[in-house]
């Protein structure tokens, strides 16, 4: 086994609270990836939660360009997953010479009010993110058949024809992380701290185990579940579960708890073990603790879906994975050297991960999907 050396660091974790959860039966929903950018071409308007008037547009759009409105379920703040939805929508508006607006919500009532306000604007496309919009997206798309909607990372069971869902094959990137863990583990024991014991989240944890066992047939896997009232935002319980894994000799832990993941990273830092994050680059929140992350490249998916909707070729549900750039790992991204992910120091393992990704894309490796048996 290769030894993963500890990088000196200052403790002080900034926990990114990204409440992600499962999508629906037709799709692959959940949460996340990072980076936000603005632009000079697309006009941006921010609406406060529905009870106040939307501010004026900040730049003049092309009169012939499309209008896109982005509705995150909560204020974006420092939430990198929601930032990616914003980035993708804004980029599409810039690229197409159109106008961009964002209506931020705080709760169910403001989401409903902001959807009503968005429909009243008669935009070309309304873009929503996360499971918080599952019911509302079905209701509003059925009630407004001439309005096009996009929902990212979730989907109602039978979406109307004008609702287009972008979901993810999370198990593919999870498998690649498992290859890293199986190659780097000194004990041969890997594990996962998972928000809930549900098939959707097993897409992450089960594939992580399979990836580890693909390079170390003797590797063992232990999965524990956060549970409680707030499994996606409970770093204290996540830390307790992580410590239980450490006590069993697990030295590489996949954190599948969104806003709970900080507890996993803290336990890793304090006990000389290593962790893996989900959806965004969580190496930045806990330098020295995180090897890599399974990514959801939401901005890429938003751009692709917007193009398909405008071209009239968008399907009701589109699943994105490694082959179409919708998911990935930091190890295979251009910026890995500056990512603060520990995998950057292991080019041989990165080469093995690249080979596995190529095999998955070619169909030579098929990672099972626990959601569909």
Q: What is the pLDDT of residues 103-120, one digit of tens each?
A: 999 999 999 999 999 999
d(CA 353, CA 351): 5
Q: What is the pTM of this model?
A: 0.79
Res 149: pLDDT: 98
Residue 230: partners with Cβ closer than 8 Å, 6 or more residues away: none
d(CA 104, CA 277): 26
d(CA 350, CA 339): 14
d(CA 43, CA 25): 36
Helix axes 170-184, 199-215, angle to 10 degrees: 40
Res 373: pLDDT: 65
- Span 39-91, pLDDT tens digits: 333 444 444 444 333 433 434 455 689 999 999 999 998 678 899 999 999 99
Token digits for 55? 């501010």
In 3-state terms, the chain is what percent helix, strand and coil (to 5)? 40, 20, 40
CA-nearest of 317, 314, 320 to 300 is 320
d(CA 221, CA 152): 31
Res 62: pLDDT: 56
Res 258: pLDDT: 87
Res 61: pLDDT: 52
Share of the chain above pLDDT 70, in %: 83
d(CA 249, CA 235): 21
Instruction: Average the pLDDT over 199-203 and give the result.
Output: 93
Phi, psi values for residue 21, rounded to 5°: -155, -175
Residues facing residue 307 across a β-bridge: none
Question: What is the SS3 assignment for 296?
Answer: strand
Cα pseudo-dihedral 98, 99, 104, 109, rounded to 10: -90
Mean pLDDT is lowest, of 16-30, 73-87, 270-284, for 16-30
Token digits for 82? 């929601």
Is-contact 179 211, C-beta < 8 A? yes
Tokens 């593919």 found at: 172
Token digits for 353? 């991960």
Token digits for 103? 């209506």
Set out the domains of the chain in order of their start, with CATH numbers. Answer: 46-168+298-324 (3.40.50.2300), 170-295+334-367 (3.40.50.2300)
């Amino acid at each position: 086994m290769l030894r993963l050396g500890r990088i000196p660091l200052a403790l002080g974790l900034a926990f990114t609270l990204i409440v992600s959860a499962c999508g629906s039966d037709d799709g692959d929903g959940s949460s996340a990836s990072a980076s936000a950018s603005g632009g000079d071409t697309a006009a941006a308007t921010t609406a406060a939660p529905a009870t106040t008037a939307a501010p004026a547009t900040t730049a003049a759009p092309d009169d012939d360009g499309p209008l896109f409105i982005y509705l995150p379920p909560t204020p974006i703040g420092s939430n990198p997953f929601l930032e990616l939805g914003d980035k993708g929508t804004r980029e599409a508006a810039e690229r197409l010479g159109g106008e961009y607006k964002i209506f931020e919500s705080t709760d169910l009532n403001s989401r409903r009010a902001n959807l009503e306000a968005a429909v009243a604007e008669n935009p070309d496309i309304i873009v929503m993110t996360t499971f918080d919009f599952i019911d509302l997206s079905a209701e509003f798309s059925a009630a407004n058949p001439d309005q096009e909607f996009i929902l990212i990372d979730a989907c109602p069971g039978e979406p109307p024809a004008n609702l287009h869902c972008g979901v993810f094959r999370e198990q593919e990137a999870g498998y690649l992380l498992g290859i890293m863990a199986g190659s780097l583990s000194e004990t041969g024991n890997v594990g996962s701290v998972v928000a809930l014991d549900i098939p959707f989240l097993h897409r992450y944890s089960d594939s992580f185990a399979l990836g580890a066992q693909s390079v170390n047939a003797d590797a063992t896997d232990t999965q524990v579940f956060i549970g409680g009232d707030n499994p996606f935002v409970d770093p204290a319980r996540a830390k307790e579960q992580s410590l239980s894994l450490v006590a069993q000799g697990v030295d590489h832990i996949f954190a599948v708890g969104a806003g709970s993941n900080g507890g996993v990273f803290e336990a890793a830092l304090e006990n000389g073990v290593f962790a893996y994050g989900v959806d965004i680059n969580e190496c930045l929140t806990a330098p020295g603790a995180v090897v890599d992350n399974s990514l959801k490249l939401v901005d890429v998916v938003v751009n692709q879906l917007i193009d398909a909707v405008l071209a009239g070729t968008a399907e009701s549900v589109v699943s994105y994975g490694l082959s179409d750039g919708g998911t990935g790992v930091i190890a295979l991204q251009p910026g890995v050297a500056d990512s603060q992910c520990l995998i950057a120091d292991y080019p041989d393992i990165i080469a093995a991960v690249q080979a596995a990704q190529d095999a998955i894309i070619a169909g030579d490796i098929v990672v099972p999907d626990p959601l569909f048996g």
